[in-house]
């Protein structure tokens, strides 16, 4: 069976740890290898990308393979070719498809009809590769003894209940740690993801709770996470969202409410002095650029898991 990665919830708990361990190994031993020689990755971009596009392209190159970047505007999909037909055609050419899509349903349809593995590089619903990188960063920056110590995390996610928040919810349910979500009323994660996370938590002992007050949410947190207030496709709401979300800015005052050794995360790109104060982004507790680097090492692990 082909191995797709559409959601972090697709992975058994043991596979998450295996991916993170492989990423750690690749980060320590940064050598070019030939494991994926002769393999080609097709990358479809319906949304702009910096970290996803570069990290995946470099990852497969350092494993001996090649990548092909395809802007959705240049594909026949722009002229109405179906996702299913695109999947069938690309499967005849490439070894794996990574897609950064507007709609999660498009990724699911692509995976349904492709005969090669499909990797979710971001959708409106989830961002699994990002959260895998975040978990690796948490492990490293908090100097945990072993990967399974991630189970003891208390993570506070402050801001918009978007795709990244929803992937964090699934991760908390899968690995069994505590996640506190703090969003303004009306901007919570989708109920479907609340249900999915709750079901996973019942099995793992994890906890996903909601707290409107961001200062209460970060109390005793070891990780404070935020993201842009207006995700791609919602730019027309930016002015209104700035007013609604300003009390949720990750700033020095908020950071003082967390643990003294807490780290601050942001998946980037950041709007400085909006969702996060510039002084915090550049401060000693920020690990945002470590997160960005870890995308490369995690992408290697993901590609190897899909193709070997």
162-196: b (≥16 Cβ within 10 Å) or e: bbbbbbbbbbbbbbbbbbbbbbbeebbbbeebbeb
For residue 18, give every residue at least 6 positions away whose Cβ sits within 8 Å of its Cβ, in sequence order, or none. Answer: 305
Which residue of the set 130, 166, 178, 249 is catalytic?
130
- Write out the residue limits of the CATH 3.40.50.1370 domain(s) in the chain: 8-127+295-307, 129-291
Local structure of residue 234 (DSSP, 8 states): -
pLDDT of residue 121: 98
Mean pLDDT of all residues belonging to the chain: 96
CA 273 – CA 263 distance, rounded (Å): 18
Query: Which phi and psi angles does 123 have, rounded to 5°?
Result: -140, 180
> pLDDT digits over 240-279, tens only?
999 999 999 999 999 999 999 999 999 999 999 999 999 9
> pLDDT digits over 111-162, tens only?
999 999 999 999 999 999 999 999 999 999 999 999 999 999 999 999 999 9
pLDDT of residue 63: 97
CA 27 – CA 21 distance, rounded (Å): 10
> Which candidate, 75, 125, 130, places its Cα nearest to that of 231?
125
Any catalytic annotation for residue 127? Answer: yes
CA 163 – CA 233 distance, rounded (Å): 12
Least confident of 74-83, 91-100, 206-215, 294-303: 74-83
CATH architecture of 129-291: 3-Layer(aba) Sandwich (3.40)
CA 162 – CA 227 distance, rounded (Å): 9
Q: Are strands 40-45 and 154-158 parallel, antiparallel or unpaired?
A: unpaired
Which residue of the set 183, 201, 267, 306 is catalytic?
267
CB hemisphere CA count around 279 (13 angstroms): 6
Which residue of the set 26, 100, 241, 266 is catalytic?
100
Selected residue with higher pLDDT from 230 and 40: 40
Question: How many C-beta neighbours within 10 Å does residue 210 have?
Answer: 14
Any catalytic annotation for residue 227? Answer: yes
How many helical (H) and strand (E) elements, i.e. helices and strands, does the chain have? 12, 9
CA 266 to chain CA centroid, Å, is 10
Which residue of the set 160, 295, 297, 306 is catalytic?
295
Q: Are strands 223-226 and 263-266 parallel, antiparallel or unpaired?
A: parallel
Fold of 8-127+295-307: Rossmann fold (3.40.50)
Any catalytic annotation for residue 15? Answer: no
For residue 31, give every residue at least 6 positions away whose Cβ sits within 8 Å of its Cβ, in sequence order, or none. Answer: none
pLDDT of residue 235: 82
Calculate the CA dihedral of residues 136, 137, 143, 148 and round it to 10 degrees: -30
Any catalytic annotation for residue 240? Answer: no
Which residue of the set 24, 127, 154, 241 is catalytic?
127
pLDDT of residue 68: 97
Strand intervals (E) in 11-163: 40-45, 66-71, 96-100, 118-122, 154-158
Residue 80 pLDDT level (bands cut at 50, 70, 90): confident
pLDDT of residue 232: 74
Which residue of the set 4, 227, 249, 297 is catalytic?
227
> pLDDT digits over 28-42, tens only?
988 899 999 999 999
């Amino acid at each position: 069976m082909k191995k797709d990665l559409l959601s972090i919830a697709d992975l058994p708990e043991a596979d998450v740890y295996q991916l993170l361990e492989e990423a750690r190994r690749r980060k320590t031993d940064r050598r070019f290898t030939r494991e994926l020689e002769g393999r080609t990755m097709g990358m479809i971009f319906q949304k702009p990308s910096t970290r996803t596009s570069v990290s995946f392209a470099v990852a497969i190159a350092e494993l001996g393979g090649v990548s092909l970047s395809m802007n959705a505007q240049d594909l026949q999909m722009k002229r109405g070719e179906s996702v299913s037909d695109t999947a069938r055609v690309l499967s005849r050419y490439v070894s794996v498809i990574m897609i950064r899509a507007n709609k999660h349903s498009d990724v699911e349809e692509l995976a349904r009809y492709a005969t090669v593995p499909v990797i979710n590089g971001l959708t409106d619903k989830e961002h699994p590769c990002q959260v895998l990188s975040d978990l690796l960063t948490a492990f490293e920056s908090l100097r945990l003894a072993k990967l399974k110590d991630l189970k003891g995390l208390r993570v506070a996610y402050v801001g918009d209940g978007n795709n990244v928040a929803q992937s964090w919810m699934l991760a908390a349910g899968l690995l069994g740690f505590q996640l506190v979500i703090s969003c303004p009323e009306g901007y919570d994660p989708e109920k479907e993801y609340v249900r999915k996370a709750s079901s996973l938590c019942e099995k793992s002992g994890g906890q996903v709770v909601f707290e409107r007050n961001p200062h209460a949410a970060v109390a005793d947190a070891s990780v404070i996470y935020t993201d842009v207030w207006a995700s791609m496709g919602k730019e027309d709401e930016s002015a209104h969202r700035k007013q609604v979300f300003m009390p949720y800015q990750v700033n020095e005052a908020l950071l003082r409410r967390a643990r003294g050794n807490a780290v601050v995360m942001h998946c980037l790109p950041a709007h400085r002095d909006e969702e996060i104060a510039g002084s915090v982004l550049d401060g000693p507790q920020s690990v945002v650029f470590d997160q960005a680097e870890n995308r490369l090492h995690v992408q290697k692990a993901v590609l190897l898991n899909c193709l070997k």
